[in-house]
Structure 1
Amino acid sequence: MTPESIPPPEGVPADAGAAKTDPNRQVRGDERRELTGRVTAAYEQGRSIRDIASTIGRSYGFVHRLLAEAGVDFRTRGGARKGGGK
C-alpha cells in the first residue's frame, strides 16, 4: 500500500501527509492537524492502527496518540469469538 491510500479529509490536499518521509521528525501545527485528519479518516473507514502506521512510516504509538488527541472512539480488540454461545 502507498501512503496516498489514506484519503485526505474534505478540504485537505492529497499531498498533505509529508510526515511519511522521516519517522524521527516532529510533526507540528497545520501539518499535524492535516495528518491527524487523514489518519482519523482511515481509521474510521475500518483500517487498523498498525496498517495506517506502516503506510505512513510511523510507529503504532504515534498513530494511536494522534487518534487519541482527535477524540476517536477506539474499536475493541480482536474479532468475533469462535464456538458460538453456550
Structure 2
Amino acid sequence: MHRTAHIGRNSPVIGADREQLALGLKSLYESGWSVRDLAKQTGRSYGTVHRLLREARTNFRSYRGQGPSAE
C-alpha cells in the first residue's frame, strides 16, 4: 500500500512535515483514494485529512451519493 510521509499517527504535524503529509495525501486523493480511506490509512480523523487536502489546494471530486429527492 502507498505510504504518505513517515509521521506518527495522531501526532501533531507542523511545518515542512505538515506540508509533506498534505502533498502526499493530495497525490493519493487525486489517484482515486477517498477522504475516508486516507483517514483510515493515516490514523487521522476525516476532518484533519480534509483540512490537509484543502491546505494542499486539492480540487475535490463532486459527491456521487444519492441526495434527497426533489419530491
Please say whether Structure 1 and Structure 2 have the same fold, judged by a TM-score greater than 0.5. yes
Is structure 2 residue 32 aligned with structure 1 residue 46?
Answer: yes
Structural mapping, 1:16-27, within 5 Å: 16-18=5-7, 21-23=8-10, 25-27=11-13
Alignment check: 8 A CA contact 1:36 1:67 kept? yes
Q: Take 2:24 and 2:49, find their aligned partners in 1: how far apart are those partners?
A: 11
Unaligned runs of 5+ in 2: 67-71
- Moved >4 Å (runs of 4+): none
Which structure has the bigger radius of gyration?
A: 1
Match of 2:69 in 1: none
**Percent of aligned pairs with the same amino acid:** 41
- TM normalised by structure 2 equals 0.80
- TM normalised by structure 1 equals 0.67
Q: Take 2:26 and 2:9, find their aligned partners in 1: how far apart are those partners?
A: 20
Is structure 2 residue 54 aligned with structure 1 residue 68?
Answer: yes
Cα offset, 1:22, TM superposition: 3.4
Q: Kindly tell me the number of residue pairs found equivalent between the two proteins.
A: 66
